[in-house]
Amino acid sequence: MSRFEGQVIAITGAGSGIGRALAQNFAGRGAQLALADYNEAALAETAALLPASTRTECTVMDVSKRDQVFAFADKVISDFGRVDMIINNAGTSVLATVENVTIEEIEKVINVNMWGVLYGTKAFLPHMLKARSGRIVNVSSVFGLVATPCSVAYTMSKFAMRGLT
């Protein structure tokens, strides 16, 4: 029996990449999944890849929208009765130097990568504290440790996420 058997795991950015891989991995270990992504079609593709026996609830949302993230947390608790883990995985990037990146592009990356993680943490933490159990996982990258000339927005957001974590 897997230690994740029956655990309720919420994953943002579950429509592709790391989020999809996490969903597949945890489903294979018997977890129940609350998956979220802004791309409805990609989210449905992820759900279709999971074993039919996996209890899965999908929510289309934008992690940069505080009300949507808090509504997602409330929905997870309503649907499953608890949450054992939130994986704040949703992320975005833009490759450009400070000279060439627009403020709007920086704001978008910060809104998803930093605010999305903070919203996910704050939305799920009260439920975990009440249950006296739970795990918060914030997915970052090496760019939370080192900076490169063409990833200013992404690096700023990942440094902030690392500080929160």
Active site residues: 154
Q: Helix H segments across 13-151? A: 17-28, 40-49, 66-80, 103-110, 116-131
**Closest residue by Cα to residue 76 from 57, 95, 97:** 57
